[in-house]
């Protein structure tokens, strides 16, 4: 693995919040409300990518778009990775944070993720669902998440407890050289692999978590777990970022 890498310290002024959305008509309004209510010492830019929703999510977003909320629409559903790729291209903030459009993750936890970066302790921070308050996830998801984190640790010589977490916060300079090719949930192992391969350590903080079940709109399945495993192996031995 690459030696631990550092960047020149800087004063952060802006935060881009990337919100990939697919068929979340019933939750997206509340998520945006919670995002707007968070008090952080940064100017916040909200970048929402509607990934081909077919349930009327686009109509809800049309009522929410304003000077602080920018909405981008995919004509067809392409996957979370593709939505985040669009969001990253549009983001202008010094810092980047990813926020799912369901209600599993609480924006009030942003303060925990931002703190190590603002204090110049880290350039990448993940929120761990396994070290904080949580509504327990489905057993198969728990096993799958822990297994994938273990594989990550073995392949990349790190000690992550939750590689698959949505809550990832970056100094934008860390991910500017990264070209994301994954279109679905394999975005998570790809971005993690490419951060670690550059030599950046990932700082973890505990977050709260209210996991959904499939009848509540949960989308990730066991097939995505196999895709994540394949991605971890692939990007460990792929030279390009």
Q: Give pLDDT, residue 221.
A: 66
Tokens linked to 139: 């057993």
Domain ranges of the chain: 14-236
Residue 141 pLDDT: 76
Q: What is the value of pTM for the model shown?
A: 0.90
Percent of residues, the chain, with pLDDT higher than 70: 91
**73-77, 131-135, 174-178: which has the minimum mean pLDDT?**
131-135
**First CA to last CA distance, the chain:** 14
Condensed to tens digits (0 to 9), the pLDDT of residues 31-43 reads: 999 999 999 999 9
CA–CA distance from 177 to each of 48, 70, 171 (Å)? Answer: 22, 24, 12
Q: Quote the pLDDT of residue 213.
A: 59
CATH T-level fold of 14-236: Spore Coat Polysaccharide Biosynthesis Protein SpsA; Chain A (3.90.550)
pLDDT digits (tens, 9 = 90+) for 136-152: 666 777 788 899 999 99
Cβ neighbors of 181 (< 8 A, separation 6 or more) are 81, 190
- Residue range 197-225, pLDDT digits in tens: 999 999 999 999 987 554 444 456 657 78
> Helical H runs in 38-79?
57-64
pLDDT in tens, 51-96: 999 999 999 999 999 989 999 999 999 999 999 999 999 999 999 9
pLDDT at 2: 60
Alpha-carbon dihedral of residues 218, 38, 169, 28, nearest 10 degrees? 30
**Res. 4: pLDDT tops 90:** no
User: What's the pLDDT score for residue 3?
Assistant: 67
In the predicted model, what is the mean pLDDT of residues 120-130?
A: 96
Residue 158: the pLDDT is 96
As a whole number of angstroms, the distance between CA 237 and CA 234 comes to 6
Residue 133 has pLDDT above 70, yes or no: no
- Average pLDDT of the chain is 91
């Amino acid at each position: 693995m690459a030696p631990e890498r550092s960047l020149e310290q800087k004063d952060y002024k802006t935060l881009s919040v990337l919100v990939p959305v697919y068929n979340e008509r019933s939750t997206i309004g509340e998520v945006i409300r919670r995002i707007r209510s968070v008090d952080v010492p940064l100017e916040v830019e909200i970048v929402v990518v509607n990934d081909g929703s077919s349930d009327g999510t686009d109509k809800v977003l049309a009522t929410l778009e304003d000077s602080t909320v920018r909405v981008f629409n995919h004509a067809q559903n392409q996957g979370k990775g593709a939505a985040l790729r669009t969001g990253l291209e549009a983001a202008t903030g010094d810092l980047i944070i990813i926020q799912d459009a369901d209600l599993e993750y609480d924006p009030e936890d942003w303060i925990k993720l931002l703190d190590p970066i603002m204090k110049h302790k880290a350039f990448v921070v993940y929120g761990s669902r396994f070290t904080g308050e949580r509504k327990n996830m489905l057993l198969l998801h728990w096993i799958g998440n822990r297994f994938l984190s273990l594989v990550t640790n073995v392949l990349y010589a790190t000690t992550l407890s939750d590689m698959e977490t949505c809550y990832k916060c970056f100094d934008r300079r860390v991910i500017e050289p990264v070209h994301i090719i994954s279109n679905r949930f394999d975005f998570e192992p790809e971005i993690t692999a490419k951060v670690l391969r550059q030599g950046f350590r990932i700082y973890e903080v505990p977050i709260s978590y209210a996991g959904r079940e499939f009848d509540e709109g949960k989308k990730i399945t066991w097939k995505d777990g196999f895709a994540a495993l394949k991605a971890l192996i692939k990007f460990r031995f792929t030279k390009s970022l």
